[in-house]
Structure 1
Amino acid sequence: MTPTEQYDYIIVGAGSAGCVLANRLSEDPSKTVLLLEAGPEDRSMWMKIPAGTTKVFRPSAVNWGYFTEPEPNLRGRQIYWPRGRTLGGSSSINGMVYLRGHPEDYDQWARLGNPGWGWNDVVPYFRRSEDQQHGASALHGAGGPLAVSDPVIDDPAGRLFIESAINTGSPLRKDFNDGVQEGVGRAQVTVRDGRRSSTSVAFLHPVRGRANLHVAVEALAEKVVLEGRRATGVRYSQRGVGKLATARCEVILCGGVINSPQLLMLSGIGPAAHLREHGIDVALDLPGVGENLQDHLYVYYVAKCEKSISLNHKLSGPNLYVEAMKYFANRSGYLNIGAVQATAFARVGPQATRPDVEVSFRPMSLNISKKGDIALDSFPGINASCSLLRPQARGRIRLASANPRDYPRIHANYLDNAEDLQVMREGLRWIRKTFETEPLSRFIRSEHAPGKAVQSDSEWEDFIRDSAQSVYHPVGTCAMGSDGMAVLDHELRVRGIDGLRVVDASVMPRITSSNTNAPAIMIGEKGADMIRTAARR
């Protein structure tokens, strides 16, 4: 063990929220900050190029590459969960879509015992981060660290999809983040000048030179050190060397929905019986740690189409080299494409009062192997995925052992209820109807998946169970609230432990009705304010 290092704040995890905290807390030169990241620096070229997402999607040095346990309602399949293990965390490997969700998501958080987390409360924190392409407004910010821009690729297939969705009754939306979500349009992305704007790029790298900020990569946190009921530091291992860092003010966990509850449990904070199963001394019986796991589930709808509207051939074979030359010459061409080219939010469930599915359209078709490899189809194709926005299913994270290097067990528990299955089924029917509507229908040759033979409810449900995958938006395993299963209070403090907070997507009591990276960044901004206010007190 090396000599003890002393800091005011220790942040565990340099992901979407962790990089925000490192920036904001180190703004005070009188406070010293240690940022621990289990993965390496974010130097890969593929993490900079928007289309490079497919190259960092599979398990690697920068991707934890988790898998769920066999899912009982998905034919026993283990579902792949990519999570970033590098500076920027999942914001360095994600699809770059910038969506906040619906105002009711946050108002519900407030009603669940979290004052100060309603829509009107959180909008200022979204604004604080933003460098909005269209300038500042009541709902958007300009001059912030995070680039928020329109997609630069205006592909013909995306335009056709938008027109067909409008012709089936969807209103055109030019801003999905203004509090009115339902409709179809092009979602904004976290990209600046043809380069990914991850939280490491936006928040961390510009301040790496601060004397009071120390960033330790390849540093795996093993345990939060407790003195009685107070967190005083973190034991971690860096390249095989055990180290101890102490915190004069606070320890802040930003490891995300998997690693934050894992570290709490390794530190003796969690469900007592489960901790004892693994020989861990119980410091605090906190039964909600690892519970309340929620995730968006999706299913692809794939159509074969005219070659003129598919990018399959543009992004494969010799044409890929042509696109690469365009990009590296002047950052033009199709390597600027993100994960989604058009987006729709629709109400499809019988009781829905606001959108309950998100449809993501892509001018290409692809398949993802069980190991996380992505390959474009050999035929000209396009696809749209249906995502279930507010799943009723709840899963959990559990330890596999007391060894911090052993991946925890993920029980997502997808589709354990009839309502989730019904909404997913009707969302896919919405996609089929849109694809069969002019003008997109003129370019469709055939439905590839599920295929026109799938018509009845039971046939759709079989297709869903056979092919559904995660959208990679897990949240909720260290939920804030006031009930008996809440892990945190509304200021993100671990209940029963002083000097310890969790600030990441695991704090969400309910999943947001869209992609989760923008909300995670907002949580980092709001969490930083709470921590600085506590320090002043």
Structure 2
Amino acid sequence: MNTKASQGATSAAAEFDYIVIGAGSAGCAVAGRLAEDSNATVALLEAGPHDHHFSIWAPVGLAAVVPKAGPRNYAYYTEPQPGLNGRRSYQPRGRGLGGSSSINGMVYIRGHRRDYDDWAALGCRGWGFDDVLPYFRRSERNPRLAGQAHPLHGNDGPLHVSDLRSPNPFAQRFVQAAIQAGLPPNDDFNGHSQEGVGLFQVTQYNGERWNAARAYLHGGNAADTALNGGRHGLAVLTDTQALRILFEGKRAIGVEVVRGGTVQVLRARREIVVSGGAFNSPQLLLASGIGPAAQLRGFGIGMVHDLPGVGENLQDHLDIIVNKQLQTPELFGKTARGMLRLAREVMRYRRTRTGMVSSNVAEAGAFLRTRPELEIPDVQLHFAVALLGNRNLGNLGHGYSCHACVLRPKSRGHVRLRSADMRETPLIDPRFLSAEEDMAGMVEGVRAIRRIFAQPALAQHGGREVLTDAFGHDSSNEAAIRDFVRDHADTVYHPVGTCKMGVDEMAVVDPELRVRGVEGLRVADASIMPTLIGGNTNAPAIMIGEKAADLIKASLR
């Protein structure tokens, strides 16, 4: 990857019109769109490295990056969770260009239209579904449309959204089994109805991961690895850790960073945008003197503005997995046969960009209502063509898994400082299952998975359930299922809400994404969500970045 221009940017100019902190899903979008103005200069700061690596661009490479800490994964852990029998929840977060869009499952889901209408009803004017739909459409390039206009989808945006090139036979069997269990088929979860079962569309192009960096920073095709995509006013500064935002009075005027072991100051003539995600955005605000006064005093941080909501309102999708062991090399597994097949699949991928290496692992899914009186789905399923879980199941060989998460959890947690130094990990406490309603939904999710696994399309292939086999074939033992959830549930990686947008006293940003009580500072990422949307969060984070860029541009008029 050619990074020479971006690496030398600070020596040429330490002042920019805009500084965007964090090159994740939203940060790449907002920086890329701001830099379309040829008269504007934009610095995009990223603590991690570039994304030009096989483990990032080959979809199945997530299996190597997600499970452990490394240069491209913060690999956070939460505080011990009473609702999970005292276990710490593992929280992988992308580090490097593309952020979590570089290590996620690539599932393209927007959420339900009602999620956004609820935001508007909470006072977030301009964030109803009809308001945000143009930004989803503007970002999307969906080959299903083949040049056609579509009221809900886009076909010329920078973010490639594709069907899987080589769906696994077991993903297709899962779809058939769910239909046999009574779910309607759905080939577009972002269409007119979310409910049903189908194969996911993924953020891929030509069998390669299409992260936010490829969409908004690199050139416009998969072969082009140069940064900036022709945006000459954009300086992308990797391996650059933001330490704190600098203020003159109440106005944000710069960022203190450490780069190459040297502390530097970058100045912003117009605005600074924080896009560090649900954990690092509140951490940076707090380290910079914006947050609850008592917490800032406890770390000796000079207060810029007392803002009690910073770090509060943390929400996440808690996830429970039901596994089934089945020894076939059609499924991923650490066996001699499985490794031999995977070696052949790597060669196939290099030749044709198809096969198992192009899999996002979580290939199929469903949205369902656990009670008939509900108007919209309340549980999401992800079907994975491997044995997954928070225990080491790799020694069991081959199998498949199905995740269930409650889409709109009631539990609320927080993010707080562990240290005033941004290089230290923040204190993360989601307070999983602190709301009783969430457990009820998890129980119904387990039951729904077991109903699907019992259908002929899957059951005829045999295998045995792992961990849940103690229940027998009867899912009526609710106490046993609750124990299973507390012993095995963990996040499905969708934290949001810690810099909440709104108009109440706990809001951190207003509906223009401006940090309340100061000037020249906004937040644009999933942390601004007042409530968690019903689905995966990558596409909504990119939408937030797109909309943020327009809000910033409009403020200049």
Coarse TM-score class (shorter-chain normalised): over 0.9
1:325 aligns with 2:334: no
Alignment of 1:64-463 (within 5 A): 64-135=74-145, 136-206=149-219, 207-305=228-326, 307=328, 310-312=331-333, 316-349=338-371, 352-368=374-390, 376-453=394-471, 455=475, 456-463=477-484
1:15 matched residue in structure 2: 24
Alpha-carbon distance in 1 for matches of 2:71, 2:398:
33
Alpha-carbon distance in 1 for matches of 2:29, 2:491:
26
| Counterpart code for 1:526 | K
Alpha-carbon distance in 1 for matches of 2:233, 2:310:
32
- Secondary structure of the 2:285 match is helix
Alignment of 1:43-62 (within 5 A): 43-57=52-66, 58-62=68-72
* Deviation of the 1:323 alpha carbon: 1.0
Alpha-carbon distance in 2 for matches of 1:309, 1:329:
20
Alpha-carbon distance in 2 for matches of 1:431, 1:377:
23
| Worse overlay, 198-207 or 96-105 | 198-207
1:37 aligns with 2:46: yes
Q: CA contact under 8 A between 1:46 and 1:55: conserved in structure 2?
A: yes
1:511 matched residue in structure 2: 532
Alpha-carbon distance in 2 for matches of 1:307, 1:401:
48
Render the CA deviation track for 1:224-254: whole Å, top value 9, x for unaligned. Answer: 1111111111111112111111111100001
* Deviation of the 1:4 alpha carbon: 7.9
- Secondary structure of the 1:345 match is strand
Alpha-carbon distance in 2 for matches of 1:76, 1:448:
22
* Deviation of the 1:154 alpha carbon: 2.4
Render the CA deviation track for 1:17-63: whole Å, top value 9, x for unaligned. Answer: 11111111011111111110001111221101011111111210111
| Worse overlay, 138-147 or 151-160 | 151-160
Q: Compute the RMSD of aligned alpha carbons.
A: 1.8
Alpha-carbon distance in 1 for matches of 2:215, 2:416:
33
Q: CA contact under 8 A between 2:325 and 2:396: conserved in structure 1?
A: no
Identify if the C-alpha distance between structure 1 residues 5 and 267 changes in structure 2 by more than 3 Å, giving closer, same or farther.
same
Q: CA contact under 8 A between 1:164 and 1:435: conserved in structure 2?
A: yes
- Secondary structure of the 1:134 match is helix
Alpha-carbon distance in 2 for matches of 1:80, 1:311:
22
| Counterpart code for 1:70 | P
Q: CA contact under 8 A between 1:24 and 1:528: conserved in structure 2?
A: yes
- Secondary structure of the 2:548 match is helix
Alpha-carbon distance in 2 for matches of 1:60, 1:306:
31
**Which of 22, 26, 32 matches 2:35?**
26
1:6 matched residue in structure 2: 15
* Deviation of the 1:444 alpha carbon: 2.7
Q: CA contact under 8 A between 1:96 and 1:339: conserved in structure 2?
A: no
**Which of 472, 475, 488 matches 2:509?**
488
Task: Identify unmatched segments of 5+ residues in structure 1.
Answer: none
Alpha-carbon distance in 1 for matches of 2:522, 2:459:
52
* Deviation of the 1:363 alpha carbon: 2.4
* Deviation of the 1:209 alpha carbon: 4.2
Q: CA contact under 8 A between 1:3 and 1:244: conserved in structure 2?
A: no
Q: CA contact under 8 A between 1:4 and 1:243: conserved in structure 2?
A: no
Alpha-carbon distance in 1 for matches of 2:330, 2:236:
45
Identify if the C-alpha distance between structure 1 residues 408 and 278 changes in structure 2 by more than 3 Å, giving closer, same or farther.
same
2:5 matched residue in structure 1: none
| Worse overlay, 57-66 or 345-354 | 345-354
| Counterpart code for 1:71 | Q
Alpha-carbon distance in 1 for matches of 2:45, 2:393:
34
* Deviation of the 1:367 alpha carbon: 4.2
Q: Among the aligned pairs, what percent are the same residue? A: 46
| Counterpart code for 1:125 | Y
2:6 matched residue in structure 1: none
* Deviation of the 1:69 alpha carbon: 0.8
| Counterpart code for 1:505 | A
Alpha-carbon distance in 1 for matches of 2:339, 2:85:
35
Render the CA deviation track for 1:406-463: whole Å, top value 9, x for unaligned. Answer: 1110001000121100100011101101111122221133222311426411110010
Identify if the C-alpha distance between structure 1 residues 524 and 219 changes in structure 2 by more than 3 Å, giving closer, same or farther.
same
Matched residues, number = 532
Task: Identify unmatched segments of 5+ residues in structure 2.
Answer: 1-9, 220-227
| Counterpart code for 1:126 | F
Alpha-carbon distance in 1 for matches of 2:375, 2:349:
43
**What is the TM-score of this pair, normalised by structure 2?**
0.92
Render the CA deviation track for 1:199-235: whole Å, top value 9, x for unaligned. Answer: 1011111235433111111111111111111111111
* Deviation of the 1:332 alpha carbon: 2.3
2:4 matched residue in structure 1: none
- Secondary structure of the 1:110 match is helix
* Deviation of the 1:383 alpha carbon: 1.1
Alpha-carbon distance in 1 for matches of 2:292, 2:206:
47
* Deviation of the 1:309 alpha carbon: 5.4
Q: CA contact under 8 A between 1:366 and 1:377: conserved in structure 2?
A: no
- Secondary structure of the 2:302 match is coil
Identify if the C-alpha distance between structure 1 residues 315 and 517 changes in structure 2 by more than 3 Å, giving closer, same or farther.
farther
| Counterpart code for 1:27 | E
- Secondary structure of the 2:134 match is helix
Q: CA contact under 8 A between 1:99 and 1:514: conserved in structure 2?
A: yes
- Secondary structure of the 2:456 match is coil
* Deviation of the 1:159 alpha carbon: 1.7
Alpha-carbon distance in 2 for matches of 1:106, 1:464:
29
Alpha-carbon distance in 2 for matches of 1:516, 1:439:
30
- Secondary structure of the 1:451 match is helix
Q: CA contact under 8 A between 1:314 and 1:323: conserved in structure 2?
A: no
Alpha-carbon distance in 1 for matches of 2:431, 2:173:
36
